[in-house]
Amino acid sequence: MYENSRLIIDSSNVPEPHSVTWRSPSNIAIIKYWGKYGVQLPKNPSLSLTLASSCTDMRLEYSFNENNPEGKIDLEFLFHQEENEAFRSKMLDYLNSLLPIYPFLKQLSLKIQSGNSFPHSAGIASSASSMSALALCLCSMEDNLFGTLKDPDAFDQKASYLARLASGSACRSIYPYAAVWGETTHVQDSSNEYAIGFADQLHSTFKDFHDDILIVSRSEKAVSSRAGHALMEGNPYAEPRYTQAKNRLTTLIGAMKTGDLETFGKIAEDEAMTLHALMMTSNPSFTLLRPDTLAIIEKLRQYRTETKNPVYFTLDAGPNVHLLYPGNIVHEVRAFIEEQLAEHCEDQYVQQDWVGEGPEEI
């Protein structure tokens, strides 16, 4: 929808070397996206909370390259100040896929420097933060070169669209507090092509929400999310799942508008278990949960029964547990984590996070 062969730099008016830097957060889906079609399009709508401290900082430097006769994208990539050929290759493949939208990329020399505030490839949606950061950098670069994205809403929509092409969940990280991605009659202007913000419909409780991520394992996942999505093609429960997700979204939207924590928590936990059940019923099946994941869940359920505190869990595509709860019980919950749950985490590491205001240019 954004293909534009006219975005070419006029060689008679070469821009000066420039750079842009964005910090973009990860997000945690409450209604999960699992299963896709076409180019990163979702089989069901999803709703996520935007995080604050689990983020990627990305700096994109660009300059005109007049010595590029083969017309290839010239890219240097550093991750935490070190070369990473695997990541560079993924970035290069993605940038090449954008040439119908950004033909001027072949006219530039690019240098990307990236770093995360949390372990990558461990089920905390590092692709969401990194690829949303890159999409934001690209949109800033476009606007700097051509002045085409002055309208903030148009900027965000295009950034979300570009992020989606790289990593489906990344399109939701563009917006503060919460986002919806995928067509649904219950959210005006929702789309499969990009996410839209949901903050203006949230009860204030969810704008002061915490997500403490218990890192059961920092190891890279045995099965990537991309491979897991592909396995939904042959999953016998796929179609009922898509219907289930749409129905749950309807209920969740109502709960998040009114501040109904009990309904929110039940859906969050049911969605987490459904996600991993789908993995275990794929062919071939796979399991990303660990014994410590289940131990944390059992202790949490017991704690909630005893204290009546509204603390709930969700899981992403990995073994790590996200504890979700309102800010007014943060001290009680963090004491519980330290005393009973941290022992189940690798090196007792917990990523303390909360719902945040979205990306920022830095």
Question: In the chain, which segments carry CATH 3.30.230.10?
Answer: 18-201
Q: What is the pLDDT of residue 88?
A: 95
CATH 3.30.70.890 residue ranges for the chain:
204-360
pLDDT digits (tens, 9 = 90+) for 23-56: 999 999 999 999 999 999 999 999 999 999 999 9
Mean pLDDT of 61-81: 87
pLDDT score of 14 = 85
Q: How confident is the model at residue 224 (pLDDT cuts 50, 70, 90)?
A: confident
Q: Report pLDDT for 70.
A: 64
CB 261 within 8 A of CB 326: yes
CATH code of 204-360, in short, is 3.30.70.890
Q: What was the pLDDT predicted at 123?
A: 52
Q: Work out the average pLDDT over 280-308.
A: 97
Q: Which residue has the tokens 């800010």?
A: 327
Q: Rounded mean pLDDT of the chain?
A: 94
pLDDT digit string, tens, across residues 241-277: 999 999 999 999 999 999 999 999 999 999 999 999 9
pLDDT over 90 (residue 218): no
Q: Which of 280, 277, 319, 275 is nearest to 297 (CA)?
A: 319
Tens digits of per-residue pLDDT, 263-272? Answer: 999 999 999 9
pTM of the model: 0.95
The interaxial angle of helices 126-146 and 85-97, nearest 10 deg, is 50
108's CB contacts (< 8 A; 6+ apart) are 9, 62, 63, 64, 65, 73, 74
Average pLDDT over residues 65-91: 88
Q: What is the mean pLDDT of residues 282-299?
A: 97
Q: How buried is residue 5: exposed, middle or buried, by Cβ count under 10 Å (0-12/13-18/19+)?
A: exposed
Q: Does domain 18-201 have CATH number 3.30.230.10?
A: yes
Farthest-apart Cα atoms in the chain, separation: 72
- pLDDT of residue 357 exceeding 60: yes
pLDDT confidence of residue 109: 95
Give the model's pLDDT for residue 125.
Answer: 59
Q: What are the tokens at 302? A: 């017991």
What's the per-residue H, E or C state across the chain?
A: CCCCCCCCCCCCCCCCCEEEEEEEEEEEEEECCCCEECCCEECCCEEEEEEEEEEEEEEEEEEECCCCCCCCCEEEEEECCEECHHHHHHHHHHHHHCCCCCHHHHHEEEEEEEEECCCCCCCCCHHHHHHHHHHHHHHHHHHHHHCCCCCHHHHHHHHHHHHHHHCHHHHHHHCCCEEEECCCCCCCCCCCCCEEECHHHCCHHHHHEEEEEECCCCCCCCCCHHHHHHHHHHCCCHHHHHHHHHHHHHHHHHHHHHCCHHHHHHHHHHHHHHHHHHHHCCCCCCCCCCHHHHHHHHHHHHHHHHHCCCCEEEECCCCCEEEEEEHHHHHHHHHHHHHHHHHHCHHHCEEEEEECCCCEEC
Instruction: Please measure the distance between the N-terminal and C-terminal CA atoms of the chain and give it in whole angstroms.
Output: 29
Least confident range of 133-142, 224-233, 244-253 = 224-233
Rounded mean pLDDT, 226-238 = 93
**pLDDT, mean of residues 174-181:** 98
d(CA 26, CA 255): 23
The pLDDT tens digits of the residues spanning 125-136 come to: 588 999 999 999
Which pLDDT value is given to residue 223?
Answer: 84
